[in-house]
Every structure is written in C-alpha cells, then in structure tokens.
Amino acid sequence: DQQVKQNSPSLSVQEGRISILNCDYTNSMFDYFLWYKKYPAEGPTFLISISSIKDKNEDGRFTVFLNKSAKHLSLHIVPSQPGDSAVYFCAASYNNAGNMLTFGGGTRLMVKP
Amino acid sequence: GAVVSQHPSWVICKSGTSVKIECRSLDFQATTMFWYRQFPKQSLMLMATSNEGSKATYEQGVEKDKFLINHASLTLSTLTVTSAHPEDSSFYICSATNRRDRGQGEQFFGPGTRLTVL
C-alpha cells in the first residue's frame, strides 16, 4: 500500500519553462512534506519542505504547494535549467523532528537545453 | 554543514561473505540515522531506524539477523549485510538527522553504497 505516490515516472521540460512535479498521499496523519533531488549513484539532497499548517513555501526557483483537502502537493521549478535534470522524490512524515520518511516512487525530470 | 559520508562507495563480494557499510555524520551529531535500500528505478525503501546507544528498529519484512545495524556513537552507524547473496545486491543509502536542527525535519543523506554480490 503506497502511502505516497508520484504518478508521473518522468517529465520532460524545455529550459526556461516551468517544471511541475506532483505528489499525492493517502495518510491524513502526515503533517510534514519534503522534496529531495537525486542524481544516479548519489544520495538524495534536500530541496524544500512544507508543514501542513502552510499551503505554500518558496525558496528561490523552487516552490512547494500543499493542498491538504486533496492530499496533494506539487513542486514548481521556474525557470527550469538543464542542471535540474534528476530524479525528484517527495516524502512525508508524521512530524518535523526528522523521523521516519515515507518516499514516493520518484519522477525523473529532464530539462532540455 | 550537515555532511554525511558512506564507506565504501562500491563493494563487490562473493556470495556467502559479510559486508560492512559505514555511515558517518562529519560535521554534526546525529540523533538518529536511517538505512535505506534502493533497487534500480525504484524508490527508497526504509530498512531500519537507528538511535545512538539503542537497538535499531527494523521495518516489516527486513531481517534483523541479515542486516545488522550498530549505532555506537552520535556520528557513526554501521550496516552489516551478513552472508550476502545476489538478491542483496542493491544501492544502500544512509541518512541522519541533525541533533541541533531538530525541528527542521529534513534528513541528510550519504552518497550511497553500491553492493554487488556475485
């Protein structure tokens, strides 16, 4: 039973345009959500997070939106750059104390020059 | 800051041997360390949660006697794959939570260790 789902395994975007990566979750107990970026043969690197008390968090080119009623979050990258090409994982936890994360299946983003 | 290292980065071993993977937090003390496993083109699956000085908590389906975890200090956790078999071949990744930044929520990941069992 996948509690965190990323339904798009891949996404291709032109450089300079917006990339939108989506994530859905089923467990209403999740209250903290994170996005990680991962290159092949490397560990994930933290990008941005959002608490369930917010609906938006922005950090530079990255913005995460949370729709609690729909149990849906999205990561917007604008403008997209070729260096953004990687696999993006969303993750959820029950609190923000660094406890267990449940990861989605990942979305491979390809940004074309 | 918040750098996590893993050693070795890649190991090839014969079936039946045991392999130890180290995870270190280089510039911070880790409240908790986590061990994940990733199969090709799949997500990260949490194997176990390790707190310094106490026994690891294993996820359902993960054999405790197969994957031995030791968390001897606030900066070091080790995963030993005992009697490794080809099906144990995978990419193993550790992560750590920064004790000082408790409340930030994010885990800091190591670069991963690729295990190939022949």
pLDDT in tens, B88-99: 999 999 999 875
Report the SS3 class of residue B34: strand
Interchain CB distance below 8 Å, A98 and B32: yes
User: What is the residue type of B94?
Assistant: C
**Which amino acid, A27?**
N
Average pLDDT of the segment spanning B108-114: 91
What is the pairing mode between strands B10-13 and B113-117? parallel
Position A41 pLDDT exceeds 90: no
Which is more confident, B106 or B105? B106
Q: Which residues of A touch B (CB under 8 A)?
A: 32, 34, 36, 41-46, 49, 89, 93, 95-106
B106 CB neighbours in chain A (<8 A) are 34, 46, 49, 98
Q: Which residues of B lie closer than 8 Å to A, measured between beta carbons?
A: 4, 6, 31-32, 34, 42-46, 49, 91, 93-95, 97-98, 101-112, 114
